[in-house]
Structure 1
Protein backbone atom coordinates (compact mmCIF):
# COMPACT_ATOMS: atom_id res chain seq x y z
CA UNK A 1 0.00 0.00 0.00
CA UNK A 2 1.36 3.44 -0.94
CA UNK A 3 1.35 5.79 2.05
CA UNK A 4 0.27 9.41 1.79
CA UNK A 5 3.90 10.36 2.38
CA UNK A 6 5.06 8.47 -0.71
CA UNK A 7 2.31 9.95 -2.85
CA UNK A 8 3.12 13.44 -1.51
CA UNK A 9 6.74 12.96 -2.60
CA UNK A 10 5.61 12.29 -6.17
CA UNK A 11 3.34 15.33 -6.20
CA UNK A 12 6.06 17.52 -4.68
CA UNK A 13 8.47 16.32 -7.38
CA UNK A 14 6.04 17.55 -10.06
CA UNK A 15 5.82 20.99 -8.44
CA UNK A 16 9.56 21.15 -7.84
CA UNK A 17 10.22 20.65 -11.55
CA UNK A 18 8.17 23.75 -12.33
CA UNK A 19 9.67 26.23 -9.86
CA UNK A 20 13.15 27.63 -9.43
CA UNK A 21 12.79 29.35 -6.05
CA UNK A 22 11.53 27.24 -3.17
CA UNK A 23 9.23 28.95 -0.67
CA UNK A 24 9.30 28.46 3.09
CA UNK A 25 5.82 29.92 3.57
CA UNK A 26 2.59 28.20 2.55
CA UNK A 27 -0.82 29.91 2.52
CA UNK A 28 -4.13 28.02 2.38
CA UNK A 29 -7.24 30.10 1.69
CA UNK A 30 -10.85 29.37 2.59
CA UNK A 31 -14.41 30.12 1.46
CA UNK A 32 -14.71 33.47 -0.31
CA UNK A 33 -11.00 34.10 0.18
CA UNK A 34 -9.66 32.20 -2.81
CA UNK A 35 -8.92 35.35 -4.81
CA UNK A 36 -6.54 36.65 -2.15
CA UNK A 37 -2.93 37.60 -2.88
CA UNK A 38 -3.90 39.85 -5.80
CA UNK A 39 -0.57 41.67 -5.57
CA UNK A 40 1.39 38.43 -5.80
CA UNK A 41 4.00 38.16 -8.59
CA UNK A 42 3.15 34.65 -9.82
CA UNK A 43 5.93 32.54 -11.36
CA UNK A 44 4.02 29.25 -11.47
CA UNK A 45 0.30 28.55 -11.58
CA UNK A 46 -1.48 25.21 -11.87
CA UNK A 47 -5.06 24.03 -11.50
CA UNK A 48 -5.60 21.32 -8.90
CA UNK A 49 -6.90 18.90 -11.52
CA UNK A 50 -3.58 19.20 -13.37
CA UNK A 51 -1.48 18.35 -10.30
CA UNK A 52 -0.76 14.61 -9.94
CA UNK A 53 -2.68 12.95 -7.08
CA UNK A 54 -4.26 16.24 -5.95
CA UNK A 55 -7.92 16.28 -4.85
CA UNK A 56 -10.30 18.73 -6.54
CA UNK A 57 -12.43 21.17 -4.57
CA UNK A 58 -16.17 20.93 -5.19
CA UNK A 59 -17.22 23.97 -3.16
CA UNK A 60 -18.38 27.25 -4.68
CA UNK A 61 -15.78 30.06 -4.30
CA UNK A 62 -12.87 27.62 -3.93
CA UNK A 63 -10.95 28.37 -7.12
CA UNK A 64 -8.77 25.26 -6.98
CA UNK A 65 -5.44 26.63 -8.06
CA UNK A 66 -1.87 26.42 -6.76
CA UNK A 67 0.33 29.50 -7.10
CA UNK A 68 4.02 30.03 -6.42
CA UNK A 69 5.67 33.43 -6.56
CA UNK A 70 6.62 36.54 -4.65
CA UNK A 71 4.33 38.21 -2.15
CA UNK A 72 5.75 41.07 -0.10
CA UNK A 73 9.06 40.40 -1.90
CA UNK A 74 9.22 36.88 -0.48
CA UNK A 75 8.63 33.53 -2.14
CA UNK A 76 5.38 31.88 -1.08
CA UNK A 77 3.12 29.02 -2.11
CA UNK A 78 -0.62 29.74 -2.15
CA UNK A 79 -3.42 27.20 -2.36
CA UNK A 80 -6.58 28.96 -3.55
CA UNK A 81 -9.19 26.64 -2.12
CA UNK A 82 -9.17 23.67 0.23
CA UNK A 83 -10.89 20.32 0.73
CA UNK A 84 -13.43 19.45 3.41
CA UNK A 85 -14.56 16.33 5.18
CA UNK A 86 -18.16 17.14 4.24
CA UNK A 87 -17.26 16.86 0.55
CA UNK A 88 -16.64 13.18 1.20
CA UNK A 89 -12.87 13.45 1.42
CA UNK A 90 -11.00 11.51 4.09
CA UNK A 91 -8.80 13.31 6.65
CA UNK A 92 -5.73 12.13 4.70
CA UNK A 93 -7.12 13.64 1.49
CA UNK A 94 -8.05 16.89 3.24
CA UNK A 95 -4.51 17.23 4.57
CA UNK A 96 -2.70 15.95 1.47
CA UNK A 97 -1.68 19.50 0.41
CA UNK A 98 -0.01 19.97 3.80
CA UNK A 99 2.06 16.83 3.23
CA UNK A 100 3.06 18.12 -0.20
CA UNK A 101 4.10 21.41 1.41
CA UNK A 102 6.08 19.43 3.97
CA UNK A 103 7.95 17.62 1.20
CA UNK A 104 8.70 20.96 -0.45
CA UNK A 105 10.22 22.36 2.76
CA UNK A 106 7.45 24.72 3.89
CA UNK A 107 8.20 25.94 7.43
CA UNK A 108 5.32 28.35 8.07
CA UNK A 109 1.68 27.53 7.35
CA UNK A 110 -0.86 30.38 7.21
CA UNK A 111 -4.51 29.36 7.00
CA UNK A 112 -7.58 31.50 6.39
CA UNK A 113 -11.22 30.53 6.63
CA UNK A 114 -14.72 31.94 6.71
CA UNK A 115 -16.36 31.41 10.09
CA UNK A 116 -19.53 32.18 11.97
CA UNK A 117 -19.02 34.35 15.03
CA UNK A 118 -20.12 33.08 18.42
CA UNK A 119 -18.62 35.80 20.59
CA UNK A 120 -21.22 38.55 21.03
CA UNK A 121 -18.51 41.22 20.87
CA UNK A 122 -17.78 40.20 17.24
CA UNK A 123 -19.40 41.73 14.17
CA UNK A 124 -19.74 40.47 10.62
CA UNK A 125 -16.69 41.76 8.76
CA UNK A 126 -14.27 41.23 11.65
CA UNK A 127 -11.08 39.19 11.40
CA UNK A 128 -10.38 36.75 14.22
CA UNK A 129 -6.84 35.69 14.97
CA UNK A 130 -7.08 32.03 15.98
CA UNK A 131 -5.41 31.46 19.35
CA UNK A 132 -6.58 27.85 19.77
CA UNK A 133 -9.10 25.41 18.34
CA UNK A 134 -11.55 22.69 19.35
CA UNK A 135 -11.80 19.69 17.03
CA UNK A 136 -15.43 18.55 17.00
CA UNK A 137 -15.31 16.84 13.61
CA UNK A 138 -14.87 13.36 15.04
CA UNK A 139 -11.88 12.90 12.73
CA UNK A 140 -8.10 13.21 12.96
CA UNK A 141 -5.61 12.91 10.06
CA UNK A 142 -3.12 11.07 12.30
CA UNK A 143 -5.34 8.04 12.91
CA UNK A 144 -3.70 4.82 11.74
CA UNK A 145 -0.09 3.73 11.49
CA UNK A 146 2.29 6.62 12.08
CA UNK A 147 4.91 7.48 9.47
CA UNK A 148 7.85 8.51 11.63
CA UNK A 149 9.40 10.27 8.64
CA UNK A 150 6.49 12.72 8.66
CA UNK A 151 6.29 13.34 12.40
CA UNK A 152 6.09 11.84 15.86
CA UNK A 153 3.27 9.54 16.97
CA UNK A 154 1.83 11.91 19.61
CA UNK A 155 2.44 15.56 18.63
CA UNK A 156 1.86 18.07 21.41
CA UNK A 157 -1.09 20.40 20.75
CA UNK A 158 -0.81 22.69 23.79
CA UNK A 159 0.59 25.63 21.79
CA UNK A 160 -0.57 25.02 18.23
CA UNK A 161 -0.67 28.62 16.99
CA UNK A 162 2.78 30.21 16.95
CA UNK A 163 3.15 33.04 19.49
CA UNK A 164 5.66 35.01 17.42
CA UNK A 165 3.43 34.86 14.36
CA UNK A 166 0.44 35.92 16.49
CA UNK A 167 2.41 38.88 17.87
CA UNK A 168 3.47 39.82 14.35
CA UNK A 169 -0.15 39.74 13.16
CA UNK A 170 -1.30 41.86 16.12
CA UNK A 171 1.44 44.43 15.48
CA UNK A 172 0.57 44.51 11.78
CA UNK A 173 -3.11 45.06 12.53
CA UNK A 174 -2.30 47.88 14.93
CA UNK A 175 0.04 49.66 12.52
CA UNK A 176 -2.24 49.20 9.52
CA UNK A 177 -5.33 50.15 11.56
CA UNK A 178 -7.06 46.84 10.87
CA UNK A 179 -9.50 45.74 13.57
CA UNK A 180 -8.39 42.28 14.73
CA UNK A 181 -10.19 40.04 17.21
CA UNK A 182 -8.70 37.02 18.97
CA UNK A 183 -10.41 33.77 19.85
CA UNK A 184 -10.93 30.01 19.76
CA UNK A 185 -12.10 28.33 16.56
CA UNK A 186 -14.42 25.30 16.73
CA UNK A 187 -14.16 22.93 13.78
CA UNK A 188 -17.32 20.98 12.90
CA UNK A 189 -17.95 18.34 10.25
CA UNK A 190 -20.70 20.24 8.37
CA UNK A 191 -22.15 20.90 5.88
CA UNK A 192 -25.38 21.77 7.72
CA UNK A 193 -25.10 25.04 9.61
CA UNK A 194 -25.47 25.12 13.39
CA UNK A 195 -28.75 24.86 15.26
CA UNK A 196 -29.49 27.39 18.00
CA UNK A 197 -28.88 24.69 20.61
CA UNK A 198 -25.51 23.88 19.03
CA UNK A 199 -24.57 27.56 19.08
CA UNK A 200 -25.36 27.72 22.81
CA UNK A 201 -23.27 24.59 23.39
CA UNK A 202 -20.29 25.95 21.42
CA UNK A 203 -20.38 29.23 23.36
CA UNK A 204 -20.52 27.28 26.63
CA UNK A 205 -17.36 25.28 25.83
CA UNK A 206 -15.39 28.40 25.00
CA UNK A 207 -15.58 28.75 21.20
CA UNK A 208 -15.57 32.24 19.70
CA UNK A 209 -16.11 31.20 16.07
CA UNK A 210 -17.19 28.08 14.20
CA UNK A 211 -16.50 26.60 10.78
CA UNK A 212 -16.05 23.39 8.78
CA UNK A 213 -12.34 23.46 8.02
CA UNK A 214 -8.84 24.24 9.28
CA UNK A 215 -8.43 21.86 12.23
CA UNK A 216 -7.44 18.84 10.10
CA UNK A 217 -4.80 20.83 8.20
CA UNK A 218 -3.50 22.39 11.40
CA UNK A 219 -3.08 18.98 13.06
CA UNK A 220 -1.12 17.75 10.04
CA UNK A 221 0.93 20.95 10.06
CA UNK A 222 1.84 20.51 13.72
CA UNK A 223 2.74 16.88 13.02
CA UNK A 224 4.98 18.16 10.22
CA UNK A 225 6.74 20.61 12.55
CA UNK A 226 5.35 23.73 10.87
CA UNK A 227 4.73 27.04 12.61
CA UNK A 228 1.03 27.90 12.30
CA UNK A 229 -0.95 31.13 11.91
CA UNK A 230 -4.74 31.07 11.51
CA UNK A 231 -7.09 33.90 10.52
CA UNK A 232 -10.90 33.66 10.39
CA UNK A 233 -13.08 36.00 8.38
CA UNK A 234 -16.18 36.47 10.54
CA UNK A 235 -18.98 36.44 7.99
CA UNK A 236 -21.95 36.43 10.36
CA UNK A 237 -22.60 36.35 14.10
CA UNK A 238 -24.89 33.77 15.69
CA UNK A 239 -27.50 34.90 18.19
CA UNK A 240 -29.39 31.81 19.44
CA UNK A 241 -32.03 34.04 21.04
CA UNK A 242 -32.78 35.62 17.67
CA UNK A 243 -31.68 33.13 15.01
CA UNK A 244 -31.22 34.48 11.50
CA UNK A 245 -30.71 32.22 8.46
CA UNK A 246 -27.41 32.48 6.57
CA UNK A 247 -26.80 31.63 2.93
CA UNK A 248 -23.58 30.62 1.23
CA UNK A 249 -23.78 33.61 -1.11
CA UNK A 250 -23.99 36.02 1.83
CA UNK A 251 -21.04 34.29 3.53
CA UNK A 252 -18.95 34.49 0.36
CA UNK A 253 -19.78 38.16 -0.23
CA UNK A 254 -18.79 39.12 3.32
CA UNK A 255 -15.58 37.08 3.15
CA UNK A 256 -14.58 38.83 -0.08
CA UNK A 257 -14.98 42.23 1.59
CA UNK A 258 -12.70 41.12 4.44
CA UNK A 259 -10.06 39.66 2.11
CA UNK A 260 -7.98 42.85 1.51
CA UNK A 261 -7.44 43.34 5.26
CA UNK A 262 -6.40 39.70 5.65
CA UNK A 263 -3.91 40.16 2.80
CA UNK A 264 -2.51 43.24 4.54
CA UNK A 265 -1.89 41.30 7.75
CA UNK A 266 -0.36 38.32 5.95
CA UNK A 267 1.96 40.57 3.96
CA UNK A 268 3.31 42.16 7.13
CA UNK A 269 3.72 38.78 8.85
CA UNK A 270 5.73 37.48 5.89
CA UNK A 271 7.90 40.59 5.88
CA UNK A 272 8.57 40.26 9.62
CA UNK A 273 9.49 36.59 9.21
CA UNK A 274 12.22 37.40 6.73
CA UNK A 275 13.71 40.41 8.52
Structure 2
Protein backbone atom coordinates (compact mmCIF):
# COMPACT_ATOMS: atom_id res chain seq x y z
CA UNK A 1 0.00 0.00 0.00
CA UNK A 2 1.33 3.44 -0.97
CA UNK A 3 0.30 7.06 -0.51
CA UNK A 4 0.18 9.94 -2.96
CA UNK A 5 2.96 12.49 -2.59
CA UNK A 6 1.31 14.75 -5.20
CA UNK A 7 -1.96 14.90 -3.26
CA UNK A 8 -0.10 15.56 -0.02
CA UNK A 9 1.89 18.35 -1.66
CA UNK A 10 -1.33 20.01 -2.79
CA UNK A 11 -2.65 19.78 0.76
CA UNK A 12 0.51 21.36 2.18
CA UNK A 13 0.34 24.25 -0.27
CA UNK A 14 -3.36 24.75 0.50
CA UNK A 15 -3.39 24.42 4.28
CA UNK A 16 0.02 24.13 5.95
CA UNK A 17 2.24 26.74 7.60
CA UNK A 18 5.25 28.24 5.88
CA UNK A 19 7.58 26.23 8.11
CA UNK A 20 6.14 22.89 6.90
CA UNK A 21 6.17 24.05 3.28
CA UNK A 22 9.85 25.02 3.63
CA UNK A 23 10.63 21.65 5.20
CA UNK A 24 8.85 19.91 2.34
CA UNK A 25 10.98 21.85 -0.15
CA UNK A 26 14.14 20.89 1.72
CA UNK A 27 13.30 17.20 2.00
CA UNK A 28 11.71 16.58 -1.39
CA UNK A 29 12.73 19.36 -3.79
CA UNK A 30 16.31 20.19 -2.90
CA UNK A 31 15.41 23.46 -1.21
CA UNK A 32 18.05 25.18 0.92
CA UNK A 33 18.06 24.35 4.65
CA UNK A 34 18.66 28.04 5.33
CA UNK A 35 15.08 28.73 4.23
CA UNK A 36 13.84 26.61 7.14
CA UNK A 37 15.96 28.64 9.56
CA UNK A 38 14.62 31.86 8.04
CA UNK A 39 11.04 30.68 8.57
CA UNK A 40 11.81 29.93 12.23
CA UNK A 41 13.19 33.41 12.89
CA UNK A 42 9.69 34.82 12.98
CA UNK A 43 8.91 32.62 15.99
CA UNK A 44 11.92 33.71 18.07
CA UNK A 45 11.27 36.33 20.74
CA UNK A 46 13.68 39.06 21.90
CA UNK A 47 14.50 36.93 24.97
CA UNK A 48 15.90 34.20 22.70
CA UNK A 49 13.12 31.69 23.30
CA UNK A 50 10.59 30.62 20.71
CA UNK A 51 6.89 31.45 20.93
CA UNK A 52 3.84 32.27 18.82
CA UNK A 53 2.23 28.85 18.81
CA UNK A 54 5.13 27.01 17.17
CA UNK A 55 3.67 23.89 18.83
CA UNK A 56 0.06 24.30 17.63
CA UNK A 57 -1.70 22.99 20.75
CA UNK A 58 -0.79 26.18 22.61
CA UNK A 59 -1.56 29.54 21.02
CA UNK A 60 0.75 31.56 23.24
CA UNK A 61 3.15 34.26 21.98
CA UNK A 62 5.48 33.93 25.00
CA UNK A 63 8.64 31.82 24.97
CA UNK A 64 8.10 28.23 26.09
CA UNK A 65 10.59 25.34 26.21
CA UNK A 66 8.25 23.17 24.12
CA UNK A 67 8.48 25.73 21.33
CA UNK A 68 12.26 25.75 21.56
CA UNK A 69 12.30 21.97 21.31
CA UNK A 70 10.19 22.13 18.15
CA UNK A 71 12.55 24.74 16.70
CA UNK A 72 15.67 22.68 17.45
CA UNK A 73 14.14 19.50 16.04
CA UNK A 74 13.09 21.38 12.91
CA UNK A 75 16.60 22.75 12.37
CA UNK A 76 18.09 19.29 12.90
CA UNK A 77 15.68 17.64 10.49
CA UNK A 78 16.46 20.25 7.84
CA UNK A 79 20.20 20.08 8.38
CA UNK A 80 20.20 23.84 8.85
CA UNK A 81 23.03 25.79 10.43
CA UNK A 82 21.82 28.65 12.61
CA UNK A 83 24.36 29.21 15.42
CA UNK A 84 23.05 32.63 16.42
CA UNK A 85 19.45 31.39 16.55
CA UNK A 86 20.44 28.35 18.62
CA UNK A 87 22.82 30.21 20.93
CA UNK A 88 20.15 32.71 21.93
CA UNK A 89 17.72 29.84 22.54
CA UNK A 90 20.23 28.09 24.82
CA UNK A 91 20.79 31.30 26.78
CA UNK A 92 17.04 31.51 27.32
CA UNK A 93 16.84 27.90 28.50
CA UNK A 94 19.62 28.59 31.00
CA UNK A 95 17.64 31.52 32.43
CA UNK A 96 14.40 29.55 32.91
CA UNK A 97 15.92 26.25 34.12
CA UNK A 98 15.85 25.10 37.73
CA UNK A 99 18.98 24.52 39.82
CA UNK A 100 19.53 21.11 38.18
CA UNK A 101 19.24 22.49 34.66
CA UNK A 102 15.78 21.00 34.02
CA UNK A 103 13.04 22.97 32.28
CA UNK A 104 9.25 22.51 32.08
CA UNK A 105 7.22 22.22 28.92
CA UNK A 106 5.36 25.47 29.57
CA UNK A 107 4.61 28.23 32.05
CA UNK A 108 1.30 29.52 33.52
CA UNK A 109 1.22 32.27 30.88
CA UNK A 110 -0.44 29.73 28.56
CA UNK A 111 -3.62 30.10 30.63
CA UNK A 112 -4.13 33.53 29.08
CA UNK A 113 -4.46 32.04 25.59
CA UNK A 114 -6.37 29.28 23.82
CA UNK A 115 -4.83 25.85 24.35
CA UNK A 116 -5.69 22.17 24.13
CA UNK A 117 -7.26 20.72 27.27
CA UNK A 118 -4.28 18.53 28.14
CA UNK A 119 -2.03 21.59 28.50
CA UNK A 120 -2.53 22.36 32.20
CA UNK A 121 -0.63 22.55 35.49
CA UNK A 122 1.34 19.34 34.94
CA UNK A 123 3.25 21.04 32.11
CA UNK A 124 4.76 23.60 34.53
CA UNK A 125 7.00 21.09 36.35
CA UNK A 126 10.62 20.69 35.15
CA UNK A 127 11.15 17.14 33.93
CA UNK A 128 12.86 14.92 31.36
CA UNK A 129 10.04 15.95 29.04
CA UNK A 130 11.30 18.21 27.51
CA UNK A 131 14.78 18.54 29.07
CA UNK A 132 16.16 15.25 27.73
CA UNK A 133 14.80 15.89 24.25
CA UNK A 134 16.16 19.43 24.15
CA UNK A 135 19.60 18.16 25.16
CA UNK A 136 19.42 15.37 22.58
CA UNK A 137 18.55 17.77 19.78
CA UNK A 138 21.41 20.08 20.76
CA UNK A 139 23.85 17.16 20.61
CA UNK A 140 22.36 16.24 17.24
CA UNK A 141 23.07 19.80 16.06
CA UNK A 142 26.64 19.68 17.36
CA UNK A 143 26.07 22.52 19.83
CA UNK A 144 28.21 23.33 22.86
CA UNK A 145 26.70 25.43 25.65
CA UNK A 146 26.91 25.51 29.48
CA UNK A 147 23.19 24.84 29.80
CA UNK A 148 23.55 21.68 27.70
CA UNK A 149 26.26 20.38 30.03
CA UNK A 150 24.00 20.89 33.04
CA UNK A 151 20.91 19.46 31.33
CA UNK A 152 22.90 16.42 30.20
CA UNK A 153 24.08 15.73 33.75
CA UNK A 154 20.48 15.95 34.96
CA UNK A 155 19.32 13.57 32.22
CA UNK A 156 22.06 11.04 32.95
CA UNK A 157 20.99 10.98 36.60
CA UNK A 158 17.44 10.28 35.49
CA UNK A 159 18.68 7.48 33.25
CA UNK A 160 20.32 5.89 36.30
CA UNK A 161 16.93 5.80 38.06
CA UNK A 162 14.00 3.50 37.18
CA UNK A 163 12.45 4.61 33.86
CA UNK A 164 9.54 7.03 34.08
CA UNK A 165 6.00 6.28 32.99
CA UNK A 166 4.51 8.15 30.07
CA UNK A 167 5.29 7.63 26.40
CA UNK A 168 6.56 11.15 25.86
CA UNK A 169 8.99 11.07 28.78
CA UNK A 170 10.42 7.78 27.52
CA UNK A 171 10.62 9.10 23.96
CA UNK A 172 12.53 12.18 25.13
CA UNK A 173 15.04 9.97 26.95
CA UNK A 174 15.47 7.83 23.83
CA UNK A 175 16.26 10.98 21.83
CA UNK A 176 18.96 11.79 24.36
CA UNK A 177 20.34 8.24 24.26
CA UNK A 178 20.54 8.36 20.47
CA UNK A 179 22.50 11.60 20.21
CA UNK A 180 24.38 12.15 23.48
CA UNK A 181 27.91 10.82 23.95
CA UNK A 182 28.86 8.25 26.55
CA UNK A 183 25.39 6.97 27.43
CA UNK A 184 25.77 3.84 29.55
CA UNK A 185 25.10 0.59 27.63
CA UNK A 186 21.68 -0.93 28.14
CA UNK A 187 19.89 2.29 29.01
CA UNK A 188 17.99 2.44 25.73
CA UNK A 189 17.02 -1.23 25.90
CA UNK A 190 15.55 -0.69 29.36
CA UNK A 191 13.57 2.29 28.10
CA UNK A 192 12.29 0.40 25.05
CA UNK A 193 11.15 -2.51 27.22
CA UNK A 194 9.30 -0.10 29.50
CA UNK A 195 7.80 1.75 26.51
CA UNK A 196 6.11 -1.41 25.24
CA UNK A 197 4.09 -1.60 28.46
CA UNK A 198 2.72 1.94 28.28
CA UNK A 199 -1.00 2.40 27.57
CA UNK A 200 -0.32 5.11 24.99
CA UNK A 201 2.20 3.09 23.01
CA UNK A 202 0.40 1.38 20.14
CA UNK A 203 2.15 -1.77 18.92
CA UNK A 204 -1.12 -2.73 17.20
CA UNK A 205 -1.83 -0.29 14.34
CA UNK A 206 -5.55 -0.81 14.83
CA UNK A 207 -5.46 0.70 18.35
CA UNK A 208 -7.81 3.71 18.36
CA UNK A 209 -7.06 7.15 19.72
CA UNK A 210 -3.88 9.08 20.35
CA UNK A 211 -0.60 7.35 21.03
CA UNK A 212 2.93 6.79 19.81
CA UNK A 213 3.80 3.95 17.46
CA UNK A 214 6.97 2.15 16.34
CA UNK A 215 7.15 4.66 13.46
CA UNK A 216 7.59 7.52 15.95
CA UNK A 217 10.50 5.69 17.56
CA UNK A 218 11.96 4.40 14.27
CA UNK A 219 10.88 6.83 11.52
CA UNK A 220 13.29 5.29 8.99
CA UNK A 221 15.12 1.99 8.44
CA UNK A 222 18.30 3.78 9.55
CA UNK A 223 16.84 4.83 12.91
CA UNK A 224 18.80 3.85 15.98
CA UNK A 225 15.91 1.81 17.42
CA UNK A 226 14.62 0.20 14.22
CA UNK A 227 15.79 -3.25 15.33
CA UNK A 228 13.64 -2.99 18.45
CA UNK A 229 10.59 -3.83 16.32
CA UNK A 230 9.80 -6.70 13.97
CA UNK A 231 9.32 -6.25 10.25
CA UNK A 232 5.68 -7.22 10.73
CA UNK A 233 5.16 -4.51 13.35
CA UNK A 234 6.80 -1.85 11.18
CA UNK A 235 4.98 -3.06 8.06
CA UNK A 236 1.59 -3.05 9.74
CA UNK A 237 2.02 0.53 10.87
CA UNK A 238 3.24 1.57 7.42
CA UNK A 239 0.11 0.03 5.88
CA UNK A 240 -2.08 1.89 8.36
CA UNK A 241 -0.22 5.16 7.81
CA UNK A 242 -0.53 4.97 4.03
CA UNK A 243 -4.22 4.10 4.34
CA UNK A 244 -4.78 7.11 6.59
CA UNK A 245 -4.32 9.69 3.85
CA UNK A 246 -7.58 11.57 3.42
CA UNK A 247 -9.38 12.74 0.30
CA UNK A 248 -7.85 16.22 0.51
CA UNK A 249 -4.34 14.71 0.45
CA UNK A 250 -3.56 15.34 4.13
CA UNK A 251 -3.55 13.17 7.21
CA UNK A 252 -5.85 13.59 10.25
CA UNK A 253 -4.93 14.08 13.89
CA UNK A 254 -6.21 11.93 16.74
CA UNK A 255 -6.77 14.59 19.39
CA UNK A 256 -8.79 17.79 19.74
CA UNK A 257 -6.97 20.94 18.65
CA UNK A 258 -7.78 24.26 20.37
CA UNK A 259 -8.95 26.02 17.18
CA UNK A 260 -9.63 25.51 13.48
CA UNK A 261 -6.30 27.17 12.65
CA UNK A 262 -4.48 24.84 15.05
CA UNK A 263 -6.21 21.83 13.48
CA UNK A 264 -4.93 22.75 10.02
CA UNK A 265 -1.47 23.55 11.36
CA UNK A 266 -1.30 20.16 13.04
CA UNK A 267 -2.53 18.42 9.92
CA UNK A 268 0.32 20.09 8.04
CA UNK A 269 2.79 18.79 10.64
CA UNK A 270 1.50 15.21 10.59
CA UNK A 271 1.17 15.19 6.80
CA UNK A 272 4.78 16.20 6.33
CA UNK A 273 5.85 13.62 8.90
CA UNK A 274 3.81 10.91 7.15
CA UNK A 275 5.45 11.78 3.84
CA UNK A 276 8.94 11.59 5.30
CA UNK A 277 8.31 8.26 7.03
CA UNK A 278 6.62 6.67 4.02
CA UNK A 279 9.36 7.93 1.73
CA UNK A 280 12.07 6.53 4.02
CA UNK A 281 10.42 3.10 3.90
CA UNK A 282 9.71 3.22 0.14
CA UNK A 283 5.95 3.64 0.46
CA UNK A 284 5.43 6.77 -1.68
Regarding TM over 0.5, the answer is no
Q: What is the TM-score with the length of structure 1 in the denominator?
A: 0.26
- TM norm structure 2: 0.25
Q: Which has the higher helix share?
A: 2
Higher strand fraction: Structure 1 or Structure 2? 1
Higher relative contact order (CA 8 A, sep 6+): 1
